Structure 1
Amino acid sequence: MDNLSVAPKVSVIIPTYNREKAVCRAVDSVLEQKFIDFECIIVDDGSTDNTSEKLAEYSDSRLKVLLQENRGVSAARNFGIANSCGRFIALLDSDDEWLADKLAKQVPFMEEGGFEISQTDEIWIRKGKRVNQCKKHEKPEGMFFDRSLSMCMVSPSCVMFSRALWDELGPFDEDMPACEDYDLWLRVGLKYPVGLLRERLTVKHGGRPDQLSNSVGCLDLYRIYAIAKLLYSGKLSVEEQTMAVEELQLKAGFYVGGCRKRGREAQAARIERLVQDIVLGKQVSPAEIIEK
């Protein structure tokens, strides 16, 4: 957009693939927001169902639908953000939804708190029923790089971040079919505190076979790759490097053990060797971890 004075304050990015029913629920929840200064960019990642036809039924001028060949969620989000112009960027997965005052509360929370990134709390729905979160899934706030190494502590559908943060630390790694958010939040967690708006303003739906966590192989392989990239970057302090190496070894142990249980001895030996080389300080390209 040439005239930045008319740019919306928030760019909402929704990547979707073959979710003709769920994506309409997500889009509707954006259009029902009490905060109206936004654009909503939906990236259809090569859907083969009726997604494009369903999205074509909307006539709201704040909506923009972009099409691309199927390249995965990282590429879809990157493409959407590259074609957006808001000061803040809010992500929403196409199978989730927002409560009507999500943006109305999170935007001032960001501005008044001076945050470059924040997230809301969320409601979990599994197979149509509300479930309680385990204590380990409680969202932290501030600087929590150590906890982020263990598991992804920022939920994409809850998060909002500044364009300045994205320009500095993005994009999502398009070589990762999953855990791309874990990878980005690790980089963010080294530098910026994450604000937490302690209200359940996001509804996260799960328990379906089309979710990435169910359709992609062992996720620990991609977490190992993300940690290896951090170690390879040379940007960690001694303390951060120690924590990263410990978590790398832990996740590698789980992954290697799983490979051996399934008779994948060659893959187990390969990852075991690469991780050992990384621990010993040898030069290992992180790309070797996920090479096919």
Structure 2
Amino acid sequence: MASVSVIIPTYNRRESLRRALTSVFQQTVPPLEVLVVDDGSTDGTKEMVRAEFPQVTYLFQKNRGVSKARNRGITETRGEWIAFLDSDDEWMPRKLEKQLHALHQAPQYRICHTNEIWIRRGKRVNPRKIHQKHGGYIFPHCLPLCIISPSSVLIHRSLFLEYGMFDEALPAVEDYDLWLRICAHEAVLYLDEPLIRKYGGHADQLSRKHWGMDRFRIYALEKVLASGQLNREQTLLVLEELLRKITIFVQGAKKRHKTDTVTRYEAKRQYYEAMQAALLRGR
């Protein structure tokens, strides 16, 4: 059986981390190792992990962000496959077993994700249609927003060598950025079975800390566009989504009277409109 390293970044989530770790150690196929990267917790996380889960490798860093935490986990672990788990989520007991079996049956895939159950403020809710999961060539579906949950993914270590790790310059949507880079080139295996519980609605979620989250997605789209690794069809898809997001972001900036921001992003819009027009003329 292939070896799996589990990486759990956390920050001041002692109680939900306990639930997450419990779900890892209830797996029918145990991982090779479990690593918790604590991003500066002050709530007794370290003491809880060492007292209740002594088999866990615990690493501490001082508030360097979730991307740095995940990247450190990648470099510090040795499994062939890597599974991430956010400290406020939990796995179903057969999550790793079912993914490893599916990947064994379809060895051409190097990344696998699953369906999920959403819990908001203690109640199960149905995801919106825009959050629908997909398998195969999913790059077009990755452009509007992140459709692969880090807690559901099982990813071969080689992909980080080819496409890079999480972008530590991003304070949010770092997963969206990584999936764009990978899914532009890699097919994705999808298991249409909810194998994680994803909890949301709490005050410390990153989406509540930053206004205009699309500016981070704009950055990610600009980056994948500038990579020079997209074909013409992909480039046009990225430009279409980029222009849509810039338009929405500018509207929000205008409402907040952020004049400098409006000016900067209006210039971006003109630049990408010209690029799009030039590509379309070349048909």
TM-score normalised per structure 2: 0.93
Q: Does 1:218 align with 2:212?
A: yes
Q: What code does the residue aligned with 2:27 have?
A: Q
Aligned pair 1:65/2:55, yes or no? no
Q: Which deviations, in whole Å up to 9, do the C-alpha atoms of 1:201-237 show, x marking residues without a partner?
A: 1000001111111122221000000010011111111
The 1:17–1:8 alpha-carbon spacing in structure 2 relative to 1, beyond 3 Å, is farther
**Match for residue 109 of structure 1 among 82, 102, 105:** 102
Secondary structure at 1:42's aligned position in 2? strand
2:44 to 50, 70, 74: 50
Name the SS of the counterpart of 1:57 in structure 2: helix
Amino acid at match of 2:81: F
**1:198 is the counterpart of 2:227:** no
Matched, 1:78 2:94: no
8 Å contact from structure 1 (residues 8, 85) kept in 2: no
Distance 1:60 1:35, change over 3 A: farther
Structure 2 segments unaligned to the other structure (5+ residues): 276-283
Please give the alpha-carbon distance, in whole angstroms, between the structure 1 residues aligned to 2:83 and 2:31.
12
| Residue 164 of structure 1: aligned partner | 158
Q: Note if 1:93 corresponds to 2:66.
A: no
1:268 paired residue number: 262
Write the distance in 2 (CA, Å) between the matches of 1:158 and 1:185. Answer: 13
* 1:196–1:260 Cα change, 3 Å: same
Between the aligned residues of both structures, percent identity stands at 45
Letter in 2 for 1:146: P
Aligned partners of 1:37 and 1:158: how far apart in 2? 15
Partner in structure 1 of residue 168 of structure 2: 174
| Distance across 1 between alignment mates of 2:17 and 2:59 | 14
- State how far apart, in whole Å, the 2-side matches of 1:51 and 1:152 are: 29
CA deviation after TM superposition for structure 1 residue 59, in Å: 4.1
* Partner Cα separation in structure 1 for residue 69 and residue 270 of structure 2: 34
- Code of the aligned partner of 2:147: M
Aligned CA distance change for structure 1 residues 203 and 270 (closer, same or farther; 3 Å): same
Contact 1:228 1:278 in 2 (8 A): no
Match of 2:115 among 106, 121, 146: 121
SS in 2 for 1:280: helix
Q: Aligned partners of 1:102, 1:94: CA distance in 2, in Å?
A: 16
Structure 1 range deviating more: 29-38 or 202-211: 29-38
Letter of the 2:93 counterpart:
A
CA contact (8 A) 1:8 1:38 kept: no
Which residue number in structure 2 is paired with residue 229 of structure 1? Answer: 223
Aligned to 1:250: 244
Q: What residue in structure 2 maps to residue 286 of structure 1?
A: none
> Is residue 8–residue 37 contact of structure 1 (8 Å, CA) maintained in 2?
no
Cα distance change, pair 237–24 in 1 and its aligned pair in 2 (3 A): same
Unpaired runs of at least 5, structure 1: 1-6, 282-292
SS in 2 for 1:151: coil
Output the CA distance in 2 between the equivalents of 1:218 and 1:13.
Answer: 29
Aligned to 1:146: 140
Partner residue, 1:11: 5
The aligned counterpart of 1:185 is 179
Q: Could you tell which deviates more after superposition, 18-27 or 7-16?
A: 7-16
The ranges of structure 1 where at least 4 consecutive aligned residues each deviate by more than 4 angstroms after the TM superposition are none
User: Is the contact made by 2:2 and 2:100 (CA closer than 8 Å) also made in structure 1?
Assistant: no
Calculate the aligned-residue CA RMSD, in Å: 1.6
Q: Deviations over 1:160-218 (max 9, x none)?
A: 11011122112100000101000010011111111111111100000111111112222
Aligned to 2:32: 38
